[in-house]
Structure 1
């Protein structure tokens, strides 16, 4: 509809831009350039069912290559190593996190090898699953190009590539939150018990991913209470089936919490509580600003697409469908509830904890627009997303790898593999048995557990609690520890232990970052080895 026609209908809100693209878009849709025609064919397949799988496979493939190249001089992030370590044994919880991320890593490594590329693939597959779950929701409100636009706008976020590669308790929610939202939406709409059961189970799964998901569950309740159809929902069996199934799924974890002293809650309180009111207020402000910054590129892109039609935003919002209204209430809850909780309880809130819910706003903006998107914009957005991915992979990734080879990561991940292999070599100079246990710097502990061929078990029973004891207090099979040079607390504990443990070997070595055979930065590491106790030592 021309801008003049909209003004005639009374939409006189001033919009200071149109970018002179509307006329160009009309001409392009009438007579598209030849280079656009393959993209038009691809867009035609959105509702036919083949376009979405193609875009998701392409997303996984190109960003998988990016991660492989960008981190040639760096090993896996400590969060990923921790995730794998938690999944080595099946458990209903750990001292820091709920169990879902460990379960995912354990299931993945039962099929794929224990390697960097395998975990990069897992991270990108998780992102693709998240985008697929988002499409399940968006296809209930939009068709054709708009389904693709929703996914392309989300691909402009750093969430699904750069943040997702750190597969941890936050990243595991990328797929779980939209899946739980979809099931709740279907349960609210149909009020049938299978969807209600699915909603309860997926909500419980979100809680098993991270307790922060309580804000999603609270948003579900808030949206149901505020929605005009709340009477139909709450007088049906649906909410009560969801609650019952959710509790059944959570019951083993709740039992684990009750019998282990609720260690994750103690960790969370120690790490994030105790803020002053002013500090909590500042944290809440930065939480909102951080989420807005995450959305900056998709938001600016949508402004370019909508142009003068942005004046219709409030009108379209008032006439949104029942399902979109429910999603709107959920979206508001996922932002407001963490902010209020942080301020009232004096805790910090980090934008990274909430990025898995940003898909709600993208669906609302695109799905709520009551006008079609010209193919001109759909093709341009497709080219933009592909271009960014190609530039990142071909140009940015090699530059990142070369830079990090000489200017290493602060957490020391350039040296994890080299240090692990050197410690293992030192151990086997004195023992033919596999290295059984590792202690010391937390990141190095996780690295040795992963990269050492012996895959020792991380432990805190020997190194930090061995002071003033003899060899009888050490594990019978021996153990080892590592500290970065300059880590005063870790090295002092190592020195004290060396003075009282019989047969301890203390040494230091230099680990070096390597990029395709090119030497890079170095870092000194102190190593400490306690060999297995011999009978005469008892």
Structure 2
């Protein structure tokens, strides 16, 4: 039987953001995580254009509106601020996604450090999230769901300090972060229900609820969200109309999404479960004297973790609205901790060593695997069907410059070409999705007449052609072209397009 770790023997592992480690050590770990993830995202995604949700964040972020037709604005604001500083490139987007994940991982580490006292168990709990795709693979798609990867762990941290420790400053921060979460997606109301149940299940939490502090947090939330709430009243609450359009889907689709989301979330923690079972059954080291967290803390963590999962799945059935596991990845950062807690008094030292080794191997695999994955993707049948989004944007910009002396200001077209053209075009024009003014409140017919419009219509898309015709003038030019996506010496399928150029009206 091996003795407990001495102060000297624990040094190497303790440097993984344990309480006695320095800020510099923690910062170095987060920087290393960000660098590795940025490299993996950028290299592995080189053969394909950016995902639609990401360029949508960029297109919306250009406008800095108080709201948008589908979602509240905060995540788009962040994207807009990011690209006001960094160049508009795929690498910058990879860095944004990795930074978003690193901020959330940092918050999870801090919260875990406050919950767990045993050094080895704390180290394991902090490393386990890196064995899930929560902070890695799924983090690349920066959108209204993945923004919670960074926001929600810090919201939980300040909620814990506010409700369990009655820290008044934490109450203010909790209110601020709740407001920012609400400004990102209304879905946050489901995870916040878990906070309410966690407070009710704790004596400290019930005392907090009876104090003035929750009212102070509510006041901060209202203050933060009031501009958006005002915007809703002035714009027919278009995000709520969008939510309504997602109701009453066919039962076959709802049940399919329900089970895919359920088993998808289970699959995301399968590695964590496997590590726990293998180590606990095979390790011969001394058992831990206590489980990682107390029974009261277990109830707290269980409520804030399982409530959004249960409510998400329940609302999917009750409202017949589609659900995906991606919706929940940002609000369950403590799920690996609950799995660790379920192992009871598993030998902590072998568990910590195994987890850290797997994280190190996984990090190395990301670096080595990125170029391999990049090389493999163009050889797949799916890649051969990849639409030439970037090529369409560049060609449309070139044609506009050849036929119009004025700069390119507005672009529309078939979905999702509009927002992709906004990102990939060197002119970075304003997005005008579907030629529909309700989708782009920053566009008016007067602005279209003043600056003109480039429409990128995929052949057969009658909606796009009809929309372009509404803004056409006698000077409108229509240019049919066939384009394919290229990466290196690989060429995908050819697609037929019509580039519709409506020049500015002559004053």
Task: Name the TM-score, length of structure 1 as normaliser.
Answer: 0.82
The answer for the alignment partner of 1:292 in structure 2 is: 266
Q: Is the 8 A contact 1:204 1:249 kept in 2?
A: yes
Cα deviations across residues 59-87 of structure 1 (Å, max 9, x unaligned)? Answer: 21112111221122222211111001111
Is residue 514 from structure 1 mapped to residue 486 from structure 2 by the alignment?
A: yes
Cα deviations across residues 447-503 of structure 1 (Å, max 9, x unaligned)? Answer: 1111212111122585899xxxxx999623321111234x433465378669x6412
Is residue 259 from structure 1 mapped to residue 234 from structure 2 by the alignment?
A: yes
- Note the C-alpha offset of 1:514: 3.2
Is residue 165 from structure 1 mapped to residue 140 from structure 2 by the alignment?
A: yes
Structure 2 vs 1, CA of residues 279 and 76 (structure 1 numbering), >3 Å: closer, same or farther?
closer
Structure 2 vs 1, CA of residues 410 and 447 (structure 1 numbering), >3 Å: closer, same or farther?
farther
Is residue 423 from structure 1 mapped to residue 396 from structure 2 by the alignment?
A: yes
Q: Is the 8 A contact 2:43 2:370 kept in 1?
A: no
Structure 2 vs 1, CA of residues 138 and 276 (structure 1 numbering), >3 Å: closer, same or farther?
same
Among 400, 405, 413, which residue is 1:432 paired with? 405
Give, in whole Å, the separation in 2 of the partners of 1:318 and 1:167.
33
- Note the C-alpha offset of 1:401: 4.3
Cα deviations across residues 495-525 of structure 1 (Å, max 9, x unaligned)? Answer: 8669x6412221233334333x424214323
The answer for the alignment partner of 1:468 in structure 2 is: none
SS of 2:449's equivalent in the other structure is coil
Give, in whole Å, the separation in 1 of the partners of 2:100 and 2:197.
28
The answer for the alignment partner of 1:234 in structure 2 is: 209
Among 129, 133, 139, which residue is 2:107 paired with? 133
Is residue 453 from structure 1 mapped to residue 423 from structure 2 by the alignment?
A: no
Structure 2 vs 1, CA of residues 102 and 411 (structure 1 numbering), >3 Å: closer, same or farther?
farther
Give, in whole Å, the separation in 2 of the partners of 1:259 and 1:473.
21
Give, in whole Å, the separation in 1 of the partners of 2:368 and 2:454.
41
Among 502, 508, 515, which residue is 2:474 paired with? 502
The answer for the alignment partner of 1:115 in structure 2 is: 89
Among 90, 93, 96, which residue is 2:64 paired with? 90
Structure 2 spans left out of the alignment, 5+ residues? 439-444
Between the two proteins, the alignment pairs up a number of residues equal to: 492
* Worse overlay, 100-109 or 487-496: 487-496
Give, in whole Å, the separation in 2 of the partners of 1:472 and 1:170.
35
- Note the C-alpha offset of 1:264: 0.6
The answer for the alignment partner of 2:14 in structure 1 is: 44
Structure 2 vs 1, CA of residues 203 and 501 (structure 1 numbering), >3 Å: closer, same or farther?
same
Give, in whole Å, the separation in 1 of the partners of 2:470 and 2:386.
24
* Worse overlay, 48-57 or 129-138: 48-57
- Note the C-alpha offset of 1:257: 1.1
Structure 2 vs 1, CA of residues 237 and 464 (structure 1 numbering), >3 Å: closer, same or farther?
closer
SS of 1:72's equivalent in the other structure is coil
Is residue 351 from structure 1 mapped to residue 321 from structure 2 by the alignment?
A: no
Q: Is the 8 A contact 1:185 1:323 kept in 2?
A: no
Alignment of 1:339-488 (within 5 A): 339-366=313-340, 371=345, 373-404=347-378, 407=381, 409=383, 412=386, 415-459=388-432, 475-485=449-459, 487-488=460-461
Q: Is the 8 A contact 1:92 1:252 kept in 2?
A: yes
Cα deviations across residues 273-320 of structure 1 (Å, max 9, x unaligned)? Answer: 11466765564444322211121112212222322799xx9x977982
Structure 2 vs 1, CA of residues 105 and 527 (structure 1 numbering), >3 Å: closer, same or farther?
same
- Note the C-alpha offset of 1:197: 1.6
Task: Name the TM-score, length of structure 2 as normaliser.
Answer: 0.87
Q: Is the 8 A contact 1:440 1:490 kept in 2?
A: no
Give, in whole Å, the separation in 1 of the partners of 2:305 and 2:43.
36
SS of 2:86's equivalent in the other structure is coil
SS of 1:96's equivalent in the other structure is coil
* Worse overlay, 351-360 or 94-103: 351-360
Structure 2 vs 1, CA of residues 307 and 266 (structure 1 numbering), >3 Å: closer, same or farther?
same
Among 497, 501, 505, which residue is 1:529 paired with? 501
Structure 2 vs 1, CA of residues 141 and 309 (structure 1 numbering), >3 Å: closer, same or farther?
farther
The answer for the alignment partner of 1:19 in structure 2 is: none
Larger radius of gyration: 1
Structure 2 vs 1, CA of residues 285 and 113 (structure 1 numbering), >3 Å: closer, same or farther?
same
Give, in whole Å, the separation in 2 of the partners of 1:216 and 1:134.
16
Give, in whole Å, the separation in 2 of the partners of 1:92 and 1:473.
20
Structure 2 vs 1, CA of residues 189 and 156 (structure 1 numbering), >3 Å: closer, same or farther?
same
Q: Is the 8 A contact 1:84 1:106 kept in 2?
A: yes
The answer for the alignment partner of 2:173 in structure 1 is: 198
Structure 2 vs 1, CA of residues 346 and 374 (structure 1 numbering), >3 Å: closer, same or farther?
closer
Give, in whole Å, the separation in 1 of the partners of 2:82 and 2:379.
29
Give, in whole Å, the separation in 2 of the partners of 1:319 and 1:138.
10
